[in-house]
Amino acid sequence: MKEALNVVELFAGVGGFRLGLEKADANIFKTVWANQWEPSRKAQDAFNCYKENFGGEPSNDDITTVPNELFSELNIDLLVGGFPCQDYSVARSLSGEKGLEGKKGVLFWEIKRVIEHSHPKYVLLENVDRLLKSPSKQRGRDFAVMLATFRDLQYNVEWRVVNAAEYGAAQKRRRVFIFAYKNKLNFAKEQNSISGNDIIFKDGFFAKTFPVESQPYKNRITTCMLPNDVLDISDNFAFIFHTAGIMRGGEVFTAQTEAKNPTSTPLKDILVDEAIVDERFYLTEVQAEKFAYLRGPKKIERTSADGHKYIFSEGGMSPTDDLEGPGRTMLTSEGSINRSTHIVQVNGRKRFLTPVECERLNGFPDNWTAMMSDRMRYFCMGNALVVDMVEKMGNTILNLDKNEKLLSEQIIINF
């Protein structure tokens, strides 16, 4: 019998990471603990959805209140989570004796705390792609703080911005995935023996999961060495991180990649049978007029707070979404009267996407979120990741870990 990998899922939402990993191999990936808590809401819709679909007893506690001892006892092999893009600046503690302190409420520091007390072999995280460029006044600082944190925890880190529509999905959803692995692993030793260029374009975790062209886009490659002091990074460091990269011992190699032979699923393929679409999803005349305005070109004179007049301009977009191509990025405002909301035209009638269709855009089973209101179903899908991308990465982790165990056994035998 194959040995299971113990998985802990942080900021679990409705369970996209777990679902993707279990699609890869439910017998190997065993979620031993999961946490989902929404501080700003009395109703814990995402948690309730997670519990109803997976069963068990997931945690609905503020992650900051969970004791370190719990993580030490879980024997975590793989830590996963999608966390908010926040301000990752740090400062010297008031006493000066406790080193650095990150801003309170920043959930990345909770990821750090879990790692410090559990030392998982692998960490797989997801975030919006603007993380690589934040903050705007010191580009790359926040991501550099994260990389240096992993460096100090004795991990190598590889990252890639993945557009799901380029790897078979029905949605143009760009997210940065971060894969960290302990630098004492045999996999790390293998990766350390090859160039950053080969890792990004051929032999790395993401190159094997999401193939790319063999050359960087417009020759965009940069390198740097992260400062040893994280406070120095927070105060002074700025750098252009491209869409793919590797960090080993503080040394960074990063490049702009292009998907190899990109393929997507057309929007028409995820639509439900029109005969079962409820009338409430079709646009009224008033709604149709509002969308025609929102999606049309416009130039509007506005006045700033200091009295300065300026022209706000916005280009036009198609009145309805193209059914022959993938959908646009779905936001939490999906289903509302908003320029970003998808509008499809079927049999001459315009309508919103149904909640089931939004689930399909992200690769979830139909009615995964059926226990929620329509508004919350749209909101949760706007926050979710594309499950199929996690399944692909899960398969790569399975192969990686299988090789890791084989190499470890050979070393023991030879010894």
Enzyme catalytic residues = 85
Measured distance between the N- and C-terminal CA atoms of the chain, rounded to whole angstroms: 25
**CB 384, CB 14: distance < 8 Å:** yes
Cα-Cα-Cα-Cα dihedral of 118, 144, 332, 391, to 10°? -50
Q: From CA 225, how far away is CA 147, in angstroms rounded?
A: 11
Question: Would you say the C-alpha torsion 260, 261, 265, 268 has a positive or negative sign?
Answer: positive
Distances in Å between the alpha carbon of 139 and those of 129, 149, 160, 185, 238? 13, 18, 17, 32, 5
Residue 267, token pair as written in the block = 């929007």
Euclidean distance between CA atoms 104 and 97, whole angstroms: 18
Q: How many CA atoms lie within 13 A of 87 on its CB side?
A: 11
